[in-house]
Structure 1
Amino acid sequence: MKTYYAKPLEVEREWVVIDATDQVLGRVAAKAAHILKGKHKPQYTPHVDTGDFVIIVNADKIRMTGTKATSKEYYRHSGFPGGLKMETFAEAMQKHPERVIEHAVKGMLPKNTLGRKQGKKLKVYVGPEHPHAAQKPREIKMEEN
């Protein structure tokens, strides 16, 4: 019995939609990362990008549990002395809610060229509309708690 390895040209990709309305950020990000990696498919191969495209809609309606909305902070640095910038989760959600989800999902992907390639298949939108209707995306339901 030989081990099956997926070849990059054999991979069939589909498009899936996740509605983030009233969902917890970490659970949506974990589900999206799982699909982007391709771990939901039987032909999953760790060194080949076997994942699907993920569209996340209603990014502005995502939530955090506990007091993380006020205590969670995002940092970035300009590279110059004194260039450290910080914003809380609530501030980031007001300015750019799609970046919050992208940051969470990309943190769950591998930190190499394969992970960057998988991260490019993630599309996040603030409202319920997205421009990918021609790809006929399939709706994914998140488990209710």
Structure 2
Amino acid sequence: MMESLIVNKTYVPKGQVEREWLLVDAEGQNLGRLATRIAQLLLGKHRPDYTPGVLMGANVVVINAEKVEVFPTRLESKVYYHHSGYPGGIKEINLKRQFEKFPERVIEKAVWGMIPKNKLGRRQYKNLHVYAGPKHPHYAQQPELID
């Protein structure tokens, strides 16, 4: 008796993939949940034709980064580290101070932690544009507002 063989076809997009511009307002949103949503948009997982290994994600413009919400205890306890490359060159800055100096970097760092650390991930990360206030220079691309 011969068993029937089921073959599942793999979808591979042909040609240039049409990528959209999306606008995300960070005002009043939780930092972690916002970063997760942005990472999904950058990876292209919101599309029905998502294919891993292919640059299908959207260009994401985030505005009002300075108005994102974080738990008050997290503001003091969360610490970002970076190293200058010299002996004893470890630097640290807590989340509260980072919000005061560079509010964009808080969202950028949170999203970077959710993107794959390879060539494709670095290319997808370049499609993220974060701005502290409500103004951005991407009006010509007519980004679509995402809730």
**Helix, strand or coil at the partner of 1:32:** helix
- Please provide the CA RMSD for this pair: 1.1
Matched, 1:17 2:23: yes
Aligned ranges for residues 87-98 of structure 1 at < 5 Å?
Answer: 87-98=93-104
Give the superposition deviation at 1:55: 0.4
Matched, 1:127 2:144: no
Aligned ranges for residues 31-50 of structure 1 at < 5 Å?
Answer: 31-50=37-56
Larger radius of gyration: 2
Match for residue 4 of structure 2? none
Give the superposition deviation at 1:85: 0.4
Superposition TM-score, scaled by structure 2 size: 0.92
Aligned ranges for residues 73-84 of structure 1 at < 5 Å?
Answer: 73-84=79-90
Give the superposition deviation at 1:66: 4.9
Match for residue 61 of structure 2? 55
**Helix, strand or coil at the partner of 1:91:** helix
- Give the Cα–Cα distance (whole angstroms) in 2 for the partners of residues 27 and 2 of structure 1: 34
- Alignment counterpart, residue 2 of structure 1, candidates 9, 21, 29: 9
Match for residue 105 of structure 1? 111
- Give the Cα–Cα distance (whole angstroms) in 1 for the partners of residues 72 and 89 of structure 2: 30
Superposition TM-score, scaled by structure 1 size: 0.93
Show structure 1 runs of 5+ residues with no match.
none
- Give the Cα–Cα distance (whole angstroms) in 2 for the partners of residues 83 and 124 of structure 1: 28
Match for residue 67 of structure 1? 73
Structure 1 moving runs of 4+ over 4 Å: none
